[in-house]
Amino acid sequence: MFSELVLDVANIAHLAQDNPEEFAMLRRKGFGASDSSVILGVNHWNTLQTLIAQKNIPYVTPEELDVSKKPQVRMGSELEPLILEKAEAIMCAPIEKPTDQYRFKEYPWLTVNYDGVVGFDREQDFMICEAKCVSSFARKYWDWTKGARTADERINLPVAPILQGNNLKDTIQKCSDAIGIPNYYYTQVQQQLIGSRKSLAYLCALDVNNWEVVVFPVLENETVQQALVVLSAEAAESCAEIPTSGLLD
């Protein structure tokens, strides 16, 4: 299915729960999709300099181990199956959860996990679904009027076009605003689309204020994807544990 990827870590979802220290150290070995917003300079809470420093720490910090215990993180992790289950009605198809982590063949400094896949047993005709649990605080970063709550709405929902800004950050912001999602999730989905070689993915968001799932279609953006590949390659040069060249077999 994922012809551009190789298996990196099997059952990564279980490893995060069973052995958080090993999981944390594995994150040193690549840039996952959640790192993309930092690399592209649109993350609200972290900088590239800090991210590189974190990747180079040779041990697990207490702060890393505490992350999984935070209520917001636990809520997102524990409600992910519910989000995907509710999204199935909107997608009109079962959504399966891949349990492995993959590494890019051509860009081995990049890794990716997928929350859900429609058509997981099909080589070509499949679709990526990313699940998000949106807290009351984070609702302000979303435009809920631009997503779909039913299958009919999804089928008839216009897909937001790719827009061009004055610079890379502006382009990312314009595109994410057009879709109605936060810019840091827009970049995450772009990395997932590179790995799947798909032109469209769906972000499935649970609004905790009303317990509704809303899906947002996200088109591939080659400008953002190319920038992500180049900038992440440059960042990888400063990270001791991240491979920087070579096509993986």
Cα–Cα distances in Å, from 100 out to 16, 32, 111? 11, 13, 11
Whether the CA torsion 112, 157, 172, 4 is positive or negative: it is: positive
3-state secondary structure of 99: coil
The predicted pLDDT at position 240 comes to 94
Beta-strand pair 5-9/95-96: unpaired
The predicted pLDDT at position 74 comes to 84
* Tokens describing residue 220: 């591939």
Mind listing the pLDDT tens digit of every residue in the chain (249 residues)?
688 899 999 988 778 778 888 988 999 999 999 999 999 999 999 999 999 999 999 999 988 888 777 887 788 889 999 999 999 999 999 999 999 999 999 999 999 999 999 986 666 679 999 999 999 999 999 999 999 999 999 999 999 999 999 999 999 999 999 999 999 999 999 999 999 999 999 999 999 999 999 999 999 999 999 999 999 999 999 999 999 976 554
Cα–Cα distances in Å, from 163 out to 20, 172, 177? 40, 8, 10
**In what helix (H) or strand (E) does residue 85 lie, and over which residues does it extend?**
helix 71-91
Distance of CA 148 to the CA centre of its chain: 20
Residue 148 is given by DSSP the state: B
Sheet holding 127-134, edge to edge: 95-96, 116-118, 127-134, 200-207, 212-219
Question: Can you list the alpha helix ranges (DSSP code H) found in 92-167?
Answer: 151-156
Residue 122 is given by DSSP the state: -
The predicted pLDDT at position 120 comes to 66
* pTM metric for this prediction: 0.94
Residue 40 is given by DSSP the state: T
Measured distance CA(200)–CA(218) in Å, rounded: 6
CB distance 9 to 136 below 8 Å: no
What are the chain's domains?
5-236 (3.90.320.10)
The predicted pLDDT at position 76 comes to 84
